[in-house]
Amino acid sequence: MTTNLDERLSTASVIGAAGKMGSGITLLLAQEMARLSLLPENRGKTFRLNAVDLSPEGLAGLREYVHVQAQKAAEKGAVGLRALYAERQDLVENGEIIADFVHRVESVVWPSTDLAAAKGSRLVFEAIVEKIPVKVEVYKELKGICAPDAFFLTNTSSVPIGLLDGEAGLDGRILGYHFYNPPPVQKLVEIIRSPATRDDVAAAASELGKRLRKTLIPSKDVAGFIGNGHFIRDGLHGLGEAARLAKAHGWAKAVHMVNRVSQEWLLRPMGIFQLIDYVGIDVFKFIQDVMDRFLDEKLLNGTIDAMIARKVSGGQNPDGSQKPGFFGYEKGRIVSVYDLDAGVYVPIDPKGWTGEADAHLGPLPEGYRGWKALSGAPDRDAAIKAHFAALAKMDTRGAEIGRAYLRRSREIARGLVASGVAAKPEDVNGVLTSGFYHLYGPINEFCQ
């Protein structure tokens, strides 16, 4: 199927371009469009990416972000860029070529606070707030603004695509295209077709994914899809464990313990509460709400609601630094824990309460190597196996919580396959390893 992707990319838009996901998507597309503009067959053609967002401050931040990140990416990709510029005899040095490419990337992006800027667009990426009525309204408007054959790729991580299609009347021209955060770095894109999604939309999306060198994993159009289908339930398990431990140990210790176990005992890049902070407690709540509405399963949680009620919402500042959530942070490191009982952040104190909590968990399995050390290790798989073999035999509180966590994660993943959200176990494992940077998939043989 010819997708006319280049043609569609000559007039594209990102809606919600100043957000965390939107800015990353804008950067990725602008880079691809700048690349296209250099190809001999595109000489004389213009490439325009409308970056639409309600926030003028956000768009100012987007310009800065695109500038800095395009520069870094061009420096890193200089080997390939030189080939792209082979015909340009006037640009000789890496410095000259990089500067020209960054200028092109920046020139492609046309920021606007007005949705009407998307006029005539043939390819539209949407990355606005995860609220169904807002999304539906925006799509209804876009339908009138964009080209009549426009394709819509939504970055929703939870809202059923079929619902958006039906409510906004898009006639199958919409597909779920769920990037992971940050989009320029994370390899994974979840692809969600609704039963109505047209083949040409899916084909264009797939070609684009290949060009952006993404790992594409299909998910059934069920709220939460694979990624959040696992993450939200996994998070709820952590919240449940913490609530249980809090009864005997108090909230701060409980959060600290569960976070540590879910990171270190499970060999994950982050503990569960740090991850929720990173995603944003508010975003976690949006996703929960959507999933709770569409699925026959209790997916709400009192702790999350209590945190939101106290305006403790995590997420990142415009400069990328982490906002306080379950934890307080300094330079990306956890320095305190929010005590839900007292409503204050309690500093980490290895000689005091934190040490007591650690003592309660007991030691890590012998020869423990963390996620970072294992990620690049040549003996990675064997070491992971040995870690869980040791964990299976340990009689400590940490090991016990860890094993329960591992089993629950597996149960969630199997559920996603059983319900058809994931076509096969490899897809769930693929989402967790490529989108969440886990070293192993949740469907595994560990600690059976």
Partner 1 sequence: MKAFAKPVYLVCGDSTVFLGTGRKEFHPKKPRPGLEHYIAEAGKGAVSQAADPSVVDEGVVGNFMAARFNHQGHLGAMLALVDPSFAYKPSIRVEGACASGALAVVTAVKSVLSGQADVVLAIGVEVQNTVKAIYGADILAGAGHYAAERKNGHAFFFPAKFSDRAGEYKKRFGTEKTWAAMGRWYEQAVRNARRNPKAQEYHNTTEDLFAAHQGMPPNPRSFCEHINVLDCSKVSDGGAAVLAVSAEGLKKTGRKPSEAVELVGLGHAVADLTARPDDLTALDTTRRAVERALGMAGITVKDVGVFEVHDCFTITGILACEAAGLAGHGEGADYVLSGSTRRDGPTPMNAAGGLIGYGHPTGASGVRMAVDLLRQLTGTAGDCQATVSSGRPYGLMVSMGGDDRTVVSCVFRRAG
Q: Which residues bind partner 1 (CB under 8 A)?
A: 75-82, 86, 89, 92-95, 98, 378
Q: Which is nearer to partner 1, 79 or 248 (CB)?
A: 79
Work out how close the CB of 321 gets to partner 1 at its nearest, in angstroms, rounded to a whole number: 16
Work out how close the CB of 75 gets to partner 1 at its nearest, in angstroms, rounded to a whole number: 5
Work out how close the CB of 74 gets to partner 1 at its nearest, in angstroms, rounded to a whole number: 9
Q: From CA 282, how far away is CA 276, in angstroms rounded? A: 9
Work out how close the CB of 376 gets to partner 1 at its nearest, in angstroms, rounded to a whole number: 9
Q: From CA 414, how far away is CA 428, in angstroms rounded? A: 9
Q: Which is nearer to partner 1, 80 or 370 (CB)?
A: 80
Work out how close the CB of 81 gets to partner 1 at its nearest, in angstroms, rounded to a whole number: 7
Q: Which is nearer to partner 1, 102 or 191 (CB)?
A: 102
Q: Which is nearer to partner 1, 77 or 240 (CB)?
A: 77
Q: Which is nearer to partner 1, 93 or 319 (CB)?
A: 93
Q: Which is nearer to partner 1, 95 or 144 (CB)?
A: 95
Q: CA nearest 102: which of 162, 34, 200, 192? A: 34
Work out how close the CB of 69 gets to partner 1 at its nearest, in angstroms, rounded to a whole number: 15
Asked if residue 128 lies in contact with residue 19, where contact means CB atoms within 8 angstroms, the answer is yes
Q: Which is nearer to partner 1, 82 or 198 (CB)?
A: 82
Asked if residue 85 lies in contact with residue 97, where contact means CB atoms within 8 angstroms, the answer is yes
Work out how close the CB of 78 gets to partner 1 at its nearest, in angstroms, rounded to a whole number: 4
Work out how close the CB of 320 gets to partner 1 at its nearest, in angstroms, rounded to a whole number: 15
Work out how close the CB of 71 gets to partner 1 at its nearest, in angstroms, rounded to a whole number: 10
Work out how close the CB of 362 gets to partner 1 at its nearest, in angstroms, rounded to a whole number: 28
Residue 340, both tokens: 């839900």
Q: Which is nearer to partner 1, 75 or 141 (CB)?
A: 75
Q: CA nearest 158: which of 319, 24, 287? A: 287
Q: Which is nearer to partner 1, 87 or 395 (CB)?
A: 87
Q: From CA 30, how far away is CA 12, in angstroms rounded? A: 10
How do beta strands 327-330 and 333-339 pair? antiparallel
Q: Which is nearer to partner 1, 32 or 126 (CB)?
A: 32
